[in-house]
Amino acid sequence: MRLQVLARVSVLWLAAGLLVNAVHAADPNQIPAPPALNAKAYLLVDHQSGRILASHNENERLDPASITKLMTAYAVFRSIRDERIGLEDPVLIGEAAWRTGGSRSFVDLGDRVPLSVLLQGMIIQSGNDASVALAEHVSGSESAFADLMNLYAKELGMTDTSYRNSTGLPDPEHYTTAADILKIANAIIREFPEYYRWYSQKDFTWNSITQSNRNGLLWRDTTVDGMKTG
């Protein structure tokens, strides 16, 4: 199930013509009813005030798919802040990372790729190969990195979340909720503003291959600045 987080909401844009000046003139605090969405769960919050604008089944456990990579990025950012790794570290691309299926950043087996490049490949292109390579660089193995992800989830109060991998590939014990996704999104924005620009970067090039950010809303609305699609 695809969930999507949009951070720093300055304008609630639901559909053309849905919000009209007359509504705001009558009651500036009025929030229109959300439209019917083909989603099992969603949560829309004003980042500045914390006010919930729209929600549906926000505490239901669902497969987060690639939204998992919000926590993958957060765990890597924490390791950088703790000076255990660095942005320019040459990260070895092992066989596990190279063979991981799904979306790719097109790194090659045996290459040593700067950690900052892998972060961009994961955040912008949602590369599973980059995710696994980062996990192995931080913790030695993806399973050990998943333990670290769960530790940070607990610290952030993500009580309905369980991680089993760094990519979001399906696993019955890998789940989260819209409410918990809000917590990890807020943590990234609050603790690591210096890396937030990557979430709105529209393309990424590696090995002479340029790929677009998977968040199509970046082209549809200039107020959108992230974060991750599932």
Do 68 and 127 meet the contact criterion of CB atoms below 8 Å apart? Answer: no
Q: 228 catalytic, yes or no?
A: no
Q: 166 catalytic, yes or no?
A: no
d(CA 169, CA 100): 10
> Of the candidates 207, 192, 211, which has an alpha carbon nearest to the alpha carbon of residue 127?
211
Catalytic residue among 69, 79, 103, 139: 69
> Of the candidates 66, 63, 72, 40, which has an alpha carbon nearest to the alpha carbon of residue 172?
63
Catalytic residue among 105, 126, 139, 166: 126
> Of the candidates 161, 125, 136, 123, which has an alpha carbon nearest to the alpha carbon of residue 79?
136
> Helix 69-81 vs helix 115-125: angle between axes, to the nearest 10 degrees?
160
DSSP 175: B
d(CA 135, CA 112): 15
Do 60 and 3 meet the contact criterion of CB atoms below 8 Å apart? Answer: no
Q: 212 catalytic, yes or no?
A: no
Catalytic residue among 66, 103, 105, 131: 66
Do 105 and 122 meet the contact criterion of CB atoms below 8 Å apart? Answer: yes
Active-site residue list = 66, 69, 126
